[in-house]
């Protein structure tokens, strides 16, 4: 099978500071940004997977309209357990009172 000599260009936008930090690290290992991207592409093609873990937090549906990360649900359940056990005090406030308290704490 003949080798295809055509090439394509990839453009990526990064914040300038991230690009500079990335290029600095790459230069320390003797790679250019273009070489690093080519290596990444070849690895993905060869293995048919991203060569590192990418994940989003597991979401739990609290209601049909609302879902939240599992760790936040766990934190809320732990808080409820502490309140039930008398280990934590419940403070009742309207949303306006709550915001006023938060604003006062910021000062």
Q: What is the pLDDT of residues 75-98, one digit of tens each?
A: 888 888 888 888 888 777 788 887
Contact assessment for residue 57 and residue 71, using Cβ atoms and an 8 Å cutoff: yes
Considering the domain boundaries, does residue 54 fall inside one?
Answer: no
Considering the domain boundaries, does residue 85 fall inside one?
Answer: yes
Q: What is the pLDDT of residues 14-49, one digit of tens each?
A: 999 999 999 999 999 999 999 999 999 999 999 999
* Residue 73 confidence (pLDDT) above 60: yes
Please count the structural domains in the chain.
2
Total-model pTM: 0.48
Considering the domain boundaries, does residue 40 fall inside one?
Answer: yes
Considering the domain boundaries, does residue 23 fall inside one?
Answer: yes
3-state secondary structure the chain: CCCCCCCCCCCCCCCHHHHHHHHHHHHHCCCCHHHHHHHHHHHHHHHCCCCCCCCCCCEEEEECCEEEEHHHHHHHHHHHHHHHCCCCCCCCCCHHHHHHHHHHHHC
Residue-number span of the structural domain to which 29 is assigned: 16-47
């Amino acid at each position: 099978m003949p080798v295809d000599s055509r090439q394509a260009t990839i453009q990526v936008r990064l914040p300038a500071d991230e690009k500079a930090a990335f290029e600095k690290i790459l230069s320390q290992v003797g790679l250019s940004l273009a070489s690093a991207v080519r290596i990444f592409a070849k690895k993905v093609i060869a293995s048919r997977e991203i060569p590192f873990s990418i994940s989003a937090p597991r979401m739990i549906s609290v209601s049909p309209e609302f879902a939240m990360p599992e760790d936040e649900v766990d934190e809320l359940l732990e808080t409820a357990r502490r309140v039930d056990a008398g280990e934590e005090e419940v403070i009742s406030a309207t949303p306006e009172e709550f915001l006023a308290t938060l604003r006062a704490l910021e000062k």
